């Protein structure tokens, strides 16, 4: 079903396909030996033209735990891009060596272009301020594990999800909002300064699907309504001028005081890295789930890699 497929944006996979990935990830979480050697002999290329900690390392950890190997670069300065090589040529070359490519690139649309010239699957690990679909797999698995009720679509539904921070440039927000719009009885609350509002292609998508959402500048006002709060960092690297960044960077700081008005079973997520937007004191609150979220990211990437490389099929997990 997923063998040979690329993942460029969250709607590339059906809800049913995502559900299969989540079930597979849950099995891997339960049983550390599950699919352990399934990718032996397979090679994953990780091409990171932008900084990363979790995404790159969790992909590499996932591949190594599946018995496969990794090659690639974390510094564009060490690739032939600095000599002027086009992205298409880099991808055509790397696809001669690897069975799948994970790429992060500062240009919106770069992953789509790569998938069009690559004979092997391409996974978008972030294209500029556009999309980040494997973070969405991570986020949905975390919501399903912590707030799901089981049953259809893992019981993700009937939740009010708040997004707070840089909703303009935050690619994880764009991908998650688009993906959540497919689930039933989801409503969204976008909390940001006017300058960092969610882009029209995301709010328009929600309007087209009749997904209820509101926009506000005040986190305090909506705190008590939320089942999930998705905090984000202000994306310094995407600002055109440093003064605007400095003015906006500390607009929202979640601390214990603000948590007092929150629901008892709120789930606080953050794709990380955090800068100032969540005070470290919140980490000890049982509602803080962002480090558990990072771990789910590895499990779901193991599920994804073994599925697109066709090795999960051999275990009879995902029917072709
Ligand atoms: C996010 C990203 O790169 O978009 N990080 C991640 O992949 N976990 C969020 C961010 O950098 O703020």
Note whether 15-131+297-314 and 133-294 share their fold.
yes
The predicted structure's pLDDT at residue 176: 98
Give dist(CA 115, CA 8) in Å, integer.
Answer: 8
Structure tokens that stand for 80 in this block: 């032939």
The predicted structure's pLDDT at residue 314: 46
Give dist(CA 187, CA 210) in Å, integer.
Answer: 10
The predicted structure's pLDDT at residue 53: 95
Q: What is the DSSP letter of 196?
A: G
Mutate which of 132, 133, 298 to test ligand 1's pocket (most atoms within 8 Å of Cβ)?
Answer: 132
Pocket lining: 203 vs ligand 1, CB cutoff 6 Å = no
**231: CB partners within 8 A, 6+ apart:** 164, 165, 252, 254, 268, 269, 270, 274, 277, 278
CATH topology of domain 133-294: Rossmann fold (3.40.50)
Give dist(CA 8, CA 315) in Å, integer.
Answer: 26
Between the CA of 52 and the centroid of ligand 1 the distance, in Å, is 7
Domain boundaries defined on the chain:
15-131+297-314, 133-294
Give dist(CA 119, CA 76) in Å, integer.
Answer: 22
Between the CA of 231 and the centroid of ligand 1 the distance, in Å, is 11
Between the CA of 129 and the centroid of ligand 1 the distance, in Å, is 10
Pocket lining: 311 vs ligand 1, CB cutoff 6 Å = no
Q: Which atom of ligand 1 is nearest to the CA of 235?
A: 12
The predicted structure's pLDDT at residue 59: 98
Pocket lining: 228 vs ligand 1, CB cutoff 6 Å = no
Pocket lining: 297 vs ligand 1, CB cutoff 6 Å = no
Pocket lining: 171 vs ligand 1, CB cutoff 6 Å = yes
The predicted structure's pLDDT at residue 151: 77
109: left (phi over 0), alpha (psi -120 to 50) or beta: left
* Element (DSSP H or E) covering residue 71: strand 69-73
Nearest residue (by CA) to ligand 1, atom 7, is: 55
Per-residue model confidence as pLDDT tens digits over 123-174: 999 999 999 999 999 999 999 999 988 877 778 999 999 999 999 999 999 9
Number of CB atoms found within 10 A of residue 238's CB = 15
Active site residues: 54-55, 83, 104, 132
Pocket lining: 56 vs ligand 1, CB cutoff 6 Å = no
Pocket lining: 42 vs ligand 1, CB cutoff 6 Å = no
Per-residue pLDDT of the chain (320 residues), as tens digits, is: 899 999 999 999 999 999 999 999 999 999 999 999 999 999 999 999 999 999 999 999 999 999 999 999 998 888 888 889 999 999 999 999 999 999 999 999 999 999 999 999 999 999 999 999 999 999 999 999 999 888 777 789 999 999 999 999 999 999 999 999 999 999 999 999 999 999 999 999 999 999 999 999 999 999 999 999 999 999 999 998 999 999 999 999 999 999 999 999 999 999 999 999 999 999 999 999 999 999 999 999 999 999 999 998 545 555 44
Mutate which of 49, 103, 104, 126 to test ligand 1's pocket (most atoms within 8 Å of Cβ)?
Answer: 126
Mutate which of 129, 169, 271 to test ligand 1's pocket (most atoms within 8 Å of Cβ)?
Answer: 271
Q: Which CATH number fits domain 15-131+297-314: 3.40.449.10, 3.40.710.10, 3.40.50.1370, 2.40.50.140?
A: 3.40.50.1370
Q: What is the DSSP letter of 198?
A: P
Between the CA of 232 and the centroid of ligand 1 the distance, in Å, is 9
């Amino acid at each position: 079903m997923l063998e040979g497929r690329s993942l460029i944006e969250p709607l590339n996979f059906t809800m049913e396909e995502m559900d299969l990935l989540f079930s597979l990830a849950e099995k891997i979480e339960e049983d550390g030996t599950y699919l352990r050697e399934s990718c032996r002999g397979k090679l994953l290329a990780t091409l990171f033209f932008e900084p990363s900690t979790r995404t790159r390392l969790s992909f590499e950890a996932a591949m190594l735990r599946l018995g496969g190997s990794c090659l690639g670069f974390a510094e564009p300065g060490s690739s032939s891009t600095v000599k002027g090589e086009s992205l298409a040529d880099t991808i055509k070359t790397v696809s001669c060596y690897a069975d799948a490519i994970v790429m992060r690139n500062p240009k919106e649309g770069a992953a789509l272009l790569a998938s069009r010239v690559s004979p092997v699957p391409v996974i978008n690990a972030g294209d500029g301020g556009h999309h980040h679909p494997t973070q969405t797999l991570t986020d949905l698995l975390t919501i399903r594990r912590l707030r799901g009720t089981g049953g259809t679509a893992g019981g993700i539904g009937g939740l009010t999800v708040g997004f707070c921070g840089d909703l303009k440039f935050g690619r994880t927000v764009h991908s998650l909002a688009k993906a959540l719009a497919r689930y039933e009885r989801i409503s969204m609350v976008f909390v940001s300064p006017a300058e960092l509002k969610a882009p029209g292609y995301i709010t328009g998508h929600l309007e087209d699907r009749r997904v209820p959402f509101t926009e506000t500048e005040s986190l305090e006002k909506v705190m008590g309504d939320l089942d999930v709060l998705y905090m984000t960092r202000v994306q310094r690297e995407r600002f055109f001028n440093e003064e605007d960044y400095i003015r906006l960077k500390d607009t929202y700081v979640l601390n214990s005081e603000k948590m007092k008005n929150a629901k008892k079973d709120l789930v606080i997520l953050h794709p990380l890295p955090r800068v100032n937007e969540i005070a470290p004191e919140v980490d000890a609150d049982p509602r803080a789930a962002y480090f558990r979220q990072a771990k789910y990211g590895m499990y779901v990437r193991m599920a994804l890699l073994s599925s697109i490389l066709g090795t999960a099929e051999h275990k009879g997990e995902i029917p072709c």
